[in-house]
Structure 1
Amino acid sequence: MGTVTILHSLTDPDAREVIEWDGPYIDFLERRFPEGFNQPHRTVDMTNGGEVWGEAALEPVGERNLTLAFAPGGIDPITAAIIVVASVAISLAVTFLLTPKAPATVDGNSAGSAYSVSAQANQARLGAPVPEQFGQWERTPEYASQSYRVYAGNEEIRYFLLCLGAGKHQVDSVKIGETPITDLPSGIVSYSVYNPEDHDSELGNINSDFGIHENVETSGEVDQQELEPGGSSVYSDTVDGSTTSGTKTIVFNSPIADSAIRAGDVLTISAPPALAGTKTVSSATEYSITVTTNFGASVTDEAISFSVKRSTITSTGPFVTNKAGSQTTRIELDVEFPGGLYKQKDDGSFQNLTVAVTATVQEIDDSGNDVGSPTGHTFNVTEATNEPQRRTFSITKPAGRYSVSLARTDSQDLKARDSHRTIWTGLKAFLQYDNSSPRYGDVTLMAMKITGAQGISSSSQSRIFVKSTRIINQLGTSTPVAGGNLADVMSHIYVNQVGRPASELDNTAFSAFRSAQASRSGFNGVFDSVGTVWSALETVAALGRARPYPKAMTLSLVTDGVKTRSSVVAPHNTLSGGVKAQYNWIDPGGFDGVVIEYFDPATFERKTASWPLDEDDLINPKQQKALGLAHDNEALSMAKYIWRQITQRNVEFSWRMELDGRNFKPYDRIGLVVPEFNWAEAAFVTGASGNAITLDQIAPAGALSVILRDEDGTASDVLPATGNGTNTITLDDPPPFTLSHDGTQVSTICAFALTADFTVQDVTVMKVSPAKTSTAIDAVNYDATLFDGLV
């Protein structure tokens, strides 16, 4: 079944409904809008960008996704199509392979956020959008699969597979915690970067190249379980002590290793002969052992030689190795000996001690039921050292799902001074690869190996920082470039991410914007949540004092800055009643300055820039976050720009005109000629001969200044002319374009006044709102000094 998205407002992409429908589209329209439509609208097939109308509306929606867009204010439906495309929600919803346990230091609500103030840590964001980075950025990449460790030669080796983000990246630097890996000894950290064409979105390609398994499941149930000696002597000693016939307790003069003794153990006394025999332990303290039956003799302060043996083998587990529906052929167990392994001689020297651990592996089905018989796998470790020892034991099995239990099965006499403590610290299954569907998507991955990881804190291992630069195509080409030129980024979002043809971009406007931004830092940041194409384009363009703008069937953009006068508005080219200007002083809102939050280009930590005073000296500043901004001078320029808008663009104008007002764009500089405000006069041209121009009203005698408005709305420069007190004026030079006055075209408008009195109010267009038969224009006073000194 397909969907129909009703976009109620092109200026508010969140004002939408999504309705499932698979019948003919015309049936949907008749049911949803039985009275028809009272405003312009357009339906676009989002699978191909084509318009759905006429006979196409008779076809079933099927599996397609259609968007019905309304144009409040009367935006031309053809122009609206470009906004329909740009208003759809975007998300690179490539999910990560597995969810590892999040490190304890992770703030789950903020990790990965561009504005997180907590210490970020690597984690998985299952089901979340893959971060979309542009330019250069330093972040803690998410896990692409479960990290895992192995012990080899008593060294801990840790493997990570990290997702740097969507698309291609070049890695600039890597840190473990706060330490650059270049400062670590050689061989500690190694990594390799895999762009989309390297891993080909399949499991196994990185494994073959780097040696990291890409799908490992680690049991959360195995965590520091101590394995007790079983069927063997756990403790023997000779200590002076006393007991009384008919009692059950021996009291020792010196401490014994009571922690190694537990109820049910077998106590064997070999000396003195009066106590020799076997008893069952009931309890033990640091200075006593209590048994279950009475002693038959008394001794006082005599040397008592004894040993304690465990009566049964104690198994830990079983624990399931892999989730239902998955299969593994390789199981690994991690075992640690925190105090080392040794027997201590009377002279204090060490001799070999061997510990045996036996794993019982049982195949199970997806419901947890046993399949077949279990198998036993015994591993021996022999050492004579007090240094901590770590081992990983590997078991190969036929493909299946398994559970594992582990026990100590060595049998030997052990004294309190011997070191044999055995801890089960890990159980992991290496899952078989399933490439029946793409696994990674269009992302760059980093495989990393840390050798000797026991020497690096666990918190640092979960804070791997990678500084990388996104590689995208240069505007209008297939040439890859590293960086974040604003025009390249906007082109990538619209063309590469949304999949629209490059021909829909206004090449002239975007090329000019790219050239203007070549010397600036560009966009350096990360989109890491679902948004709309339009909001992403607006965020990027804002760093260049620009806006995306729909222009017929193309996506264009408009920039704010010093402009030449592009048109003239007078009563003659407005609706009846002339220019209806509202002359309002804009309230600055009580702000006494502006504070811009951005990021340090070296450390990527949060910084602020303020204007016109230092932040500490401002009482009520306007606060603004600038996503993608990582440049000190540009941040200060943004603060100045916003403050000057508040304080210098302080007069509002609005008027209505006919449909030709749609030719205006935001940030256009327009000249207002309004006689009622004692500005210049305006008249239609009714005739022309050479430099002489006839007007439909009388012009004053003397030196004049003149501006001519062509039929397409463009305006001339200020032209010198002479008036003779009649309706004829003479230009000093020939007109800059052919004047219209014969009635076949819109007549040329002439704004004029004595040079000494000539005044045209220049304004900056801020908003253009087309309706059915008119266009509303909102503007503010034009002020070129607003841009003085900005970078």
Structure 2
Amino acid sequence: MSTQVELKVYPNKLDLALYEPCTGYTGQTLSSWLQVNVPAYDDREEPLFSVNINGEHVLPSEWTIYKFKRGDDIKLVVEAKDPITIAYAVIAVIAIGVAVYAANQIPDNYNSTTPDGSSIYDINTQGNKPRLMGVIPEGAGRHLIFPDYLTMPRREYINNEQWLYLMLCVGKGEYEILPQEITIGNTPVNRYVGDVDYQVFGPGEDVTTHEAHRNVYTSSEVGSTAGTNGIELKGKVTNSGGSNSVYDYTFIDDKIKVYMVEYEPELGGYIRYLVMPPFDIGEILTVQFSLENQNDGYYKLIEKGRNGSTVKKVDGQFQDDPNWTGFITESDSHANVNVENSGGDGQFNGPFFACPKGEKTNKLWLDFSLPRGLGELDDNGNFLSRTVALKIEYRDDGALSWTPVDTITFTNSTNDQLGRTVSVDIPTKIRPEVRVKRITAANDDTRIYDEIYWTSLKSELESATRYEGMTTIAVKIRGTNALAGSAENKFNLIATRKLPIYENGAWTEPKPTTDIAPFFAHVIKSSGHSDNKIGLDEANALHSIWHARGDEFNAVFDSASTIFETLKRVLAVGFAEPTIDFGRIIPVRDQKRTIYKHMYQPDNYIGQLDRSISLIDDDEPDGVEVEYFSPITWKSETVICLLPEDQGINPEKVRAFGITSRDKAYQYGMRKRRTRRYRRTRFDFKTEMDALNSRYLDYCALADDIPGYEQTGRVQFINGRSIFIDNENLIWQTGEPHILALRKPDGTLSGPYNATKGSAINEVIIDRDLDFQATLNGTMEPPLYMFGINTRWCNGVIIRDIKPSSIDKVSVTADLDDDRVYLDDDSLAPIL
């Protein structure tokens, strides 16, 4: 003989003092108990509750095996499966369904916060920019994108033409990009034949096939500034009237004697005489012979004189060398003596570090520009060839000695601007400092064009070879006059997101799509949830509606947001919202409906039904002004949405994030305007557990307590189509068609049925057979009914809020629906 056992159901695992006692029987399995006592129960891969018997955790696989025994301590604990569920896991497992309120106000969208980097929604900030530590933009549907820098732009001279390299991030995910929709400014790149080269890389593809992939750092200490072309490399001026002058040196003890050697035409030969050295006290001099010499090195000028200048030897860091005892005597030397550290005529410029502190490189680029060309005019106006030679040296941070690079020479005969990028490969990675000097003498002859500038110092840092999870584009642009002003920060494109689509119970390969449902599912899946957390069937049903209507979601997310806020934005363009039901996120659409889901009337209220009506305020908006993004100009435009009685003097301003159609923006605005105007009645009531049957935005039948409207009560007896009720004073209105609706055991509405008066005073005859089997033996609550004339038998309401307040009480808020809300859902925007 079976005996009863007690099951304790804990709605909140954080408060084990609160539980609901339930009854089972010995020999019964948990699985069979759930099926008998929990009508909504279904087997799940991840149950919404855990089972503990006699202090031991019982796995779901054992629920069909273990049989209750007398004296068992059985505990069922509701387990929250995610942060959103935690907030609402306060009800017993007996009512496993939970409907969650989601606010129907769309967040003020485009730029609620200022993102790091560019924003396509603000015309004042549109452009390519770095997004340091920012959110990787993610596109949905078809939209304009200004890709963000993955590496900083760099320029390089190739065959005396300057080219710009850009490595850009289109966005997270995979996109379709058509060649004709890639532009610089407003001009498609295919108009610049030969001037633009680009390559699109999908997520994870090798980007090293394009030179733009390199992560190049440009030193801020070398380069052009306002009014200058860069660092001018100056050579010693040696022309003093037409004959070349040279210096000879004598090195003895700690002194340097400087001799000027000049050609004397009257003597027909050279003369040599002591001169004041062309150096200043305190300057660092480099002494270098054409062949190896022990006097080579750095020297600091201590005292300056015509008959000899005193120096002190220093090291590469310009520190005194205490071991130096003097020069090895050398007379009439043609050594090169230059000032090391001032960047003056004929001196080294620099050194400058090529990469930031903490970084190393083995690849350098140095840019040089000759703005007036290179050459020499002869007496007949012909342009003759001329050569300029440069010396480049580098060393590691902290090193004493310099490593020379092969002498760089420029030779040409033109007055057109010239430029060259010199690349330097370093055997091992170091943090180099670089210096450059001109070793060709300068000339003050106005017919000679040989000014040269050092305009840039660059180094390659660690470069990515692929970018997982994002689409990138590498670009190489010739710096022509047509592109000079817009190429670097106005590169843009129109991309269409590729996403898998759920069809016939399976996911397709990613394909270009502007539909709402695929991106809705993607948002949830990209947050780490599996398919069983997505209301795929519900989304697929709405997909058919959205696609047929032409509803699209076209947007770019470039600032941080929560998954729920993102889903609200995505679904809003289709008049829908996200809710959580049985642990799944599902979309529900606010649309015109005629079939009622559930019935609520005084017999299943707790307390009174509260009605509140919002009256029209003189100050409330008299229209809606919708801001949307035009797919033609890709700028914000507006459309005004007015009812016939509206003047539009004080419209509500709304931003339609994700809408790029004027007609759709109008429909969106008119829905908001009509909702504000015609949904002004709200109902608040409480039930026991009944309201947990409903979901957010369900369309339900609600009984009112106003005399002359519906009549309600309980069914006493059913005989075929004859329904006997508990009201012997049922009011029939002559000449009016009547309706009877019944409540099924699961809370859903049966009917409504056309009703006629029976022979008994409490008999109602319906026009067709009932669609459920009523239980009237007292084991459960009998069916409830609502009765009235065809136009006033119930209030059709939209469920707005369901809040469990304990294990036996639920608060409900509902709006009185009005068919006028939906009248402009397919309307076209007025012609401008």
Do the aligned partners of residues 673 and 433 (structure 1) sit closer, same or farther apart at CA in structure 2, a change above 3 Å counting? closer
Residue 214 of structure 1 aligns with which residue?
Answer: 214
**Counterparts of 2:490 and 2:167 in 1: how far apart (Å)?**
13
Which of residues 354, 363, 366 is equivalent to 1:333?
A: 366
CA-CA distance at 1:704 after TM superposition: 3.5
CA-CA distance at 1:621 after TM superposition: 1.8
Please state whether the residue corresponding to 1:488 is helix, strand or coil: helix
Matches for 1:112-127 after TM superposition, within 5 Å? 112-127=118-133
Contact 1:709 1:750 in 2 (8 A): yes
Please state whether the residue corresponding to 1:633 is helix, strand or coil: helix
Which of residues 791, 796, 800 is equivalent to 1:762?
A: 796
Do the aligned partners of residues 271 and 197 (structure 1) sit closer, same or farther apart at CA in structure 2, a change above 3 Å counting? same
Contact 1:83 1:534 in 2 (8 A): no
Do the aligned partners of residues 142 and 477 (structure 1) sit closer, same or farther apart at CA in structure 2, a change above 3 Å counting? same
Contact 1:74 1:769 in 2 (8 A): no
Contact 1:596 1:610 in 2 (8 A): yes
Residue 414 of structure 2 aligns with which residue?
Answer: 385
Contact 1:114 1:525 in 2 (8 A): no
Do the aligned partners of residues 462 and 235 (structure 1) sit closer, same or farther apart at CA in structure 2, a change above 3 Å counting? farther
**Would you say 1:626 and 2:656 are equivalent positions?**
yes
CA-CA distance at 1:270 after TM superposition: 8.5
**Counterparts of 1:216 and 1:376 in 2: how far apart (Å)?**
21
Residue 790 of structure 1 aligns with which residue?
Answer: 825
Larger Rg: 2
Residue 254 of structure 1 aligns with which residue?
Answer: none
Matches for 1:48-197 after TM superposition, within 5 Å? 70-71=86-87, 74=90, 111-172=117-178, 173-184=181-192, 186-197=193-204
Which letter does structure 2 place at the counterpart of 1:153?
A: N
**Would you say 1:468 and 2:495 are equivalent positions?**
yes
CA-CA distance at 1:454 after TM superposition: 5.9
**Would you say 1:527 and 2:557 are equivalent positions?**
yes
Which of residues 711, 714, 724 is equivalent to 2:745?
A: 711
Residue 648 of structure 1 aligns with which residue?
Answer: 678
Matches for 1:578-589 after TM superposition, within 5 Å? 578-585=608-615
CA-CA distance at 1:352 after TM superposition: 0.9
Matches for 1:365-764 after TM superposition, within 5 Å? 369-370=398-399, 372-399=401-428, 400-411=430-441, 413-431=443-461, 433=463, 440-453=467-480, 455-475=482-502, 476-495=506-525, 497-519=526-548, 520-564=550-594, 565-575=596-606, 577-585=607-615, 590-612=620-642, 618-698=648-728, 699-700=730-731, 704-723=738-757, 724=759, 726-753=761-788, 758-764=792-798
Residue 354 of structure 1 aligns with which residue?
Answer: 387
Do the aligned partners of residues 112 and 746 (structure 1) sit closer, same or farther apart at CA in structure 2, a change above 3 Å counting? farther
**Would you say 1:342 and 2:375 are equivalent positions?**
yes
Do the aligned partners of residues 680 and 617 (structure 1) sit closer, same or farther apart at CA in structure 2, a change above 3 Å counting? closer
1:450-496 Cα offsets, whole Å, 9 max, x none, are: 1345652244322111211111111351421212311111100101x
CA-CA distance at 1:513 after TM superposition: 1.2
Please state whether the residue corresponding to 2:706 is helix, strand or coil: helix
**Counterparts of 1:80 and 1:410 in 2: how far apart (Å)?**
87
Q: Report how many aligned residue pairs link the two structures.
A: 655
Contact 1:39 1:72 in 2 (8 A): no
**Counterparts of 1:780 and 1:743 in 2: how far apart (Å)?**
34
1:493-516 Cα offsets, whole Å, 9 max, x none, are: 101x11211022222211111111
Which of residues 221, 225, 234 is equivalent to 1:229?
A: 234
- What are the ranges of 5 or more consecutive residues in structure 1 without an aligned counterpart? 1-28, 41-47, 58-64, 85-106, 199-204, 239-263, 283-292, 294-308
Which letter does structure 2 place at the counterpart of 1:765?
A: I
**Counterparts of 1:601 and 1:786 in 2: how far apart (Å)?**
28
**Counterparts of 1:689 and 1:49 in 2: how far apart (Å)?**
42
**Counterparts of 2:762 and 2:617 in 1: how far apart (Å)?**
43
**Counterparts of 1:67 and 1:529 in 2: how far apart (Å)?**
22
**Counterparts of 1:573 and 1:600 in 2: how far apart (Å)?**
51
**Counterparts of 2:761 and 2:100 in 1: how far apart (Å)?**
51
- TM-score after normalising by structure 2: 0.71
Contact 1:82 1:553 in 2 (8 A): no
CA-CA distance at 1:432 after TM superposition: 5.0
Do the aligned partners of residues 618 and 669 (structure 1) sit closer, same or farther apart at CA in structure 2, a change above 3 Å counting? same
Question: What's the RMSD between the two structures over aligned residues?
Answer: 3.9
1:556-584 Cα offsets, whole Å, 9 max, x none, are: 12110101222322111212x45333445
**Counterparts of 1:131 and 1:361 in 2: how far apart (Å)?**
40
**Would you say 1:313 and 2:346 are equivalent positions?**
yes
Contact 2:204 2:468 in 1 (8 A): no
Which letter does structure 1 place at the counterpart of 2:218?
A: T
**Counterparts of 1:333 and 1:558 in 2: how far apart (Å)?**
61
**Counterparts of 2:51 and 2:387 in 1: how far apart (Å)?**
82
Which letter does structure 2 place at the counterpart of 1:219?
A: S
Contact 2:700 2:799 in 1 (8 A): yes
Contact 1:237 1:415 in 2 (8 A): no
Do the aligned partners of residues 434 and 722 (structure 1) sit closer, same or farther apart at CA in structure 2, a change above 3 Å counting? closer
Contact 1:471 1:480 in 2 (8 A): yes
Do the aligned partners of residues 758 and 482 (structure 1) sit closer, same or farther apart at CA in structure 2, a change above 3 Å counting? same
**Counterparts of 2:449 and 2:49 in 1: how far apart (Å)?**
79
**Counterparts of 2:637 and 2:800 in 1: how far apart (Å)?**
30
Contact 2:222 2:231 in 1 (8 A): no
Contact 1:79 1:550 in 2 (8 A): no
Do the aligned partners of residues 66 and 644 (structure 1) sit closer, same or farther apart at CA in structure 2, a change above 3 Å counting? closer
**Counterparts of 1:559 and 1:650 in 2: how far apart (Å)?**
20
Contact 1:39 1:70 in 2 (8 A): no
CA-CA distance at 1:210 after TM superposition: 2.3
- What are the ranges of 5 or more consecutive residues in structure 2 without an aligned counterpart? 1-11, 21-45, 58-80, 102-112, 225-229, 244-257, 279-304, 306-337, 827-832
- TM-score after normalising by structure 1: 0.75
Do the aligned partners of residues 593 and 83 (structure 1) sit closer, same or farther apart at CA in structure 2, a change above 3 Å counting? closer
Residue 321 of structure 2 aligns with which residue?
Answer: none
Do the aligned partners of residues 754 and 131 (structure 1) sit closer, same or farther apart at CA in structure 2, a change above 3 Å counting? closer
CA-CA distance at 1:634 after TM superposition: 0.5
CA-CA distance at 1:640 after TM superposition: 0.4
Do the aligned partners of residues 348 and 782 (structure 1) sit closer, same or farther apart at CA in structure 2, a change above 3 Å counting? same
**Counterparts of 2:91 and 2:656 in 1: how far apart (Å)?**
30
Residue 293 of structure 2 aligns with which residue?
Answer: none
Contact 1:227 1:408 in 2 (8 A): no
Matches for 1:2-21 after TM superposition, within 5 Å? none
